[in-house]
Structure 1
Amino acid sequence: MKVPPRKMKKFWIVSVPLVFFMILGSILQAAESPEVLGLEKLIQMALEKSPEVKEAEQDVVAAQSDLAQAKAGRWAQLDITAVGGPAEDADLPTVLVDKSLGGGLFSGQIQNNDKDSIGIFGRLDFNIVQPLYTFGKISHRQDAAAYGVEAQKSAKVKKEGDIILNVKELYFAMIVAGQGKDAAKDADGFVRDARQRIERLIAVGSANADETDLYRLDAFEADIQRFKVQADSGAKMAYMALKRTIGYPPDKEFNLDAKELPKDTRALGDQEDYIREALEKRPELDQLEKGLAARKAMLDAAKADLYPSFFLAAVGSFAGAPGRERMPISYFSDEFNHAYGGVMLGSQWHFDLGIGQGKVRKAAAEYQKLLCTKDFAEQNIPLEVAKNYQDVLEARSSYEAYEKAAKASRKWIVSAFSNFDIGVGTAKDMFEAIERYGKNQGDYLRSLYDYHVALARLSHSIGEYTSGTP
């Protein structure tokens, strides 16, 4: 069948704008829909936007600057001083000989030939000092600075691990709050269903229900509404905290990629293996190791300060005053007209009555203090790992038990409703079933949340984040 040209033209006139607006609408809808973010993406965004990580990065930069200064101490240092100012104009002095004394040595006097005019002078002094041997003053401080850089890098890794743990906790809290709101809606539906049944029996004058049952339902509804408000408030606070943590734009919204916390259980390894892994991976211990090496180097540097330093030096001085005549005799120094330079070997040795020894004792005390801190960490990290490990086992056992209880209590509700409908059950049975279901469901969600948080904390306590393990 052939379509007439006039109808074909009309078809295109109508359909083309319609298709255009449909495409435009779909594009706008896609642009306005909230972005969906998963846990790994949230962690990545949090690490990129975190001011704490940026602060730790600047600590690394500062430590690298200290290292650069320590390395530069090996090389020559140049000091230049330039001055200028007024100077009285003068000619060379003349010697007046007293002939009455026979004209012998020291038989005359020097007469000044200063002028009444004031001129200018300029002077440039410099010295270059190259350390030769310092008994470790420079090398020990260089080692301390190098260990300081590594310690700050470990501190940065530790800060990243803390942020990862915080994001996980907020992520799980936001999901479980949403599940809590759904559970409240579910319980609310059971209460409404029970109300309809009771009101229907009261309307027909059944002795199996009365107004008291409705009052008890009102009390149930109040508890459910309170739980709804708490769940909604928790979800909003977790969302706000997570949004600020990842640096998300205030005028935009996002959704999570999951609506429920997974119920699968991770196969755990042996607790002792986790403790050994923690002692190998934890950045705090690496930071303490590097810090101890830095303290030891600073102690050695303080001891080196008690010994002399040997150096090679080049010095020079140039001065000129246009209004003053130059005296070309090296025996006489002229502060306004001269030019000299030279190279020399030298040594410097500082003595005091206890200041240096006090610095050595202080450096030794700081080293011993950090040793104690390391011992304390090595004692408590295994306890932390063991606690988190046991928390995982306990939370897993709890959520599995409460999940079974919640399913059983839901079946109890169905059975209680059926018995009530056929007249062999009471409203009290329905109330108890609904109450038990609400409690079991709440305990199940809380235990499931505790399980995932305990897993996250166990992962954090053994330093999994240092190897990039999600």
Structure 2
Amino acid sequence: RNAVALEARKFYYLHLYAKSLRPGLNAARKMLDSALEKASALYETASGKVTNVDLMKLTYASSELDKYLIQAEVGEGLALAALKHTMGAAEAAPLLLADDSLPGAGDEPPELDALLRIALEKRPEFAQIKHGKQAALALEKAERRASFPVVAIAGQFQASWTPTRDDTNNPYHVDPYNDLFGGVALALQFDLDPA
């Protein structure tokens, strides 16, 4: 659910951003057209103040400006269509947006202490530092416990019987039948590290 809200917010602000670019680009278009007209007139007089290279630079700037105007126009419509799609609305459905342009940035950023507090709560790097400290403490604890002595008890028991074979009493003959034996072992391991 949060992912859908995040996508909708992203498309909403993209639409407002593309829409907010158009007035500035239109104003630049008027200035560039005026400059191109004046430069063409000066070039026709052959006074040497404007060269063919200057005219080509202005023509190139005009085509670049056209590109940005098209991108802003297409981006505005595309972001609105993506917003409608994310919200599950039909493409032809009317959509009234709350804002006409992007909200302005605040005059002054918050104080450094407030920014650090927000970062401490929300930035993943601070969570990594916290978990790293916990991991280092856990490693220290594990290393301390690794030097504790280890006590182990092991046991074995085996029994076998067959009615068709007699038990032998010869100690030098291995008889795996009619057998009963077992044992217990106690082990202690520790490291002596005086350092």
TM-score normalised by the chain length of structure 1: 0.24
Q: Is the 8 A contact 1:191 1:217 kept in 2?
A: yes
Q: Which residue matches 2:6? A: 165
Change in 2 beyond 3 A, CA 1:233/1:382: farther
Q: Which residue of 1 aligns with 2:21?
A: 180
Q: For 2:127, which of 364, 379, 385 is the aligned residue? A: 379
Q: Assess, with a 3 A threshold, how the Cα gap between structure 1 residues 263 and 251 changes in structure 2: closer, same or farther.
A: closer
2:60 counterpart (216, 219, 227): 219
1:275 maps to which of 113, 120, 131: 120
How many residues end up aligned between the 2 structures?
127
- SS of alignment partner, residue 9 of structure 2: helix
Q: Distance in 1 between matches of 2:117 and 2:57?
A: 53
For 1:110-121, what aligned pairs fall within 5 Å after superposition?
Answer: none
Of 234, 255, 263, 2:104 maps to 263
Query: Distance between the aligned counterparts of 2:49 and 2:119, measured in 1?
Result: 60
Q: How far did 1:186 drift? A: 2.0
Q: Deviations over 1:35-57 (max 9, x none)?
A: xxxxxxxxxxxxxxxxxxxxxxx
Contact 1:198 1:214 in 2 (8 A): yes
Residues 100-249 of structure 1 mapped to structure 2, 5 A cutoff:
159=1, 161-249=2-90
Cα separation, partners in 2 of 1:241 and 1:211, compared to 1, 3 Å: same
Specify whether residues 168 and 211 from structure 1 end up closer, same or farther in structure 2 by C-alpha distance, changes over 3 A only.
same
Distance 1:196 1:227, change over 3 A: same
In 1, the alpha carbon distance for the partners of 2:35 and 2:62 equals 11
- For residue 258 of structure 1, give the secondary structure of its aligned residue in structure 2: coil
Contact 1:188 / 1:221 at 8 angstroms: preserved in 2? yes
| Identity across matched positions, percent | 18
Letter in 2 for 1:379: A
Q: Is the 8 A contact 1:181 1:228 kept in 2?
A: yes
Q: State the 1:191 CA deviation.
A: 1.1
Q: Take 1:234 and 1:380, find their aligned partners in 2: how far apart are those partners?
A: 38
Q: Structure 1 unaligned runs (5+)?
A: 1-158, 280-375, 384-470
Deviation of residue 219 (structure 1)? 0.8
- 1:249 shift after superposition: 3.1
User: Residues 163 and 382 of structure 1: is their aligned pair in 2 closer, same or farther, counting only changes over 3 Å?
Assistant: farther
Q: Is residue 111 of structure 2 the alignment partner of residue 252 of structure 1?
A: no
Residue by residue over 1:49-80, the C-alpha shift from the partner in whole angstroms, topping out at 9 and shown as x without a partner, is: xxxxxxxxxxxxxxxxxxxxxxxxxxxxxxxx
Task: Report the Cα offset of residue 235 of structure 1.
Answer: 1.8
Q: Return the offset for 1:225.
A: 1.6
**Does the 8 A contact of 1:175 with 1:260 survive in 2?**
yes
2:92 alignment partner, SS class: coil
Q: Which amino acid aligns with 1:271?
A: L
RMSD (Å) for aligned C-alpha atoms: 3.2
Deviation per residue, 1:195-234 (Å, 9 max, x gap): 1111222333322123332221111112112212222232
* Counterpart-to-counterpart distance in 2, 1:245 and 1:204: 57
Q: 1:198 to 1:224 in 2, by over 3 A?
A: same
Cα distance between partner residues in 1 of 2:54 and 2:33: 13
Identify if the C-alpha distance between structure 1 residues 264 and 165 changes in structure 2 by more than 3 Å, giving closer, same or farther.
same
Contact 1:201 1:209 in 2 (8 A): yes
| 1:255 Cα offset (Å) | 4.3
How big is each residue's C-alpha offset from its partner over 1:231-263, in whole Å with a ceiling of 9 and x where there is no partner? 223222211110112222333233433332122
CA contact (8 A) 1:275 1:382 kept: no
Give the Cα separation in 2 of the matches to 1:201 and 1:382. Answer: 68
Does the 8 A contact of 2:25 with 2:65 survive in 1? Answer: yes
Q: Which amino acid in the other structure matches residue 194 of structure 1?
A: A
- 1:273 to 1:238, Cα distance in 2 relative to 1, 3 A: closer
Long gaps (5+) in structure 2: 132-195
Q: Structure 1 residues 202 and 270 mapped into 2: Cα distance closer, same or farther (>3 Å)? A: closer
**What SS does the aligned partner of 1:249 have?**
coil
CA separation of 1:271 and 1:166: change in aligned 2, threshold 3 A: farther
Residue 174 of structure 1 deviates from its aligned partner by 0.5
Which amino acid in structure 2 is aligned with residue 263 of structure 1?
Answer: G
Query: How far is the alpha carbon of 1:267 from its aligned partner?
Result: 5.2
State how far apart, in whole Å, the 2-side matches of 1:163 and 1:382 are: 30
What one-letter code is carried by the residue in structure 2 that aligns with 1:257? A
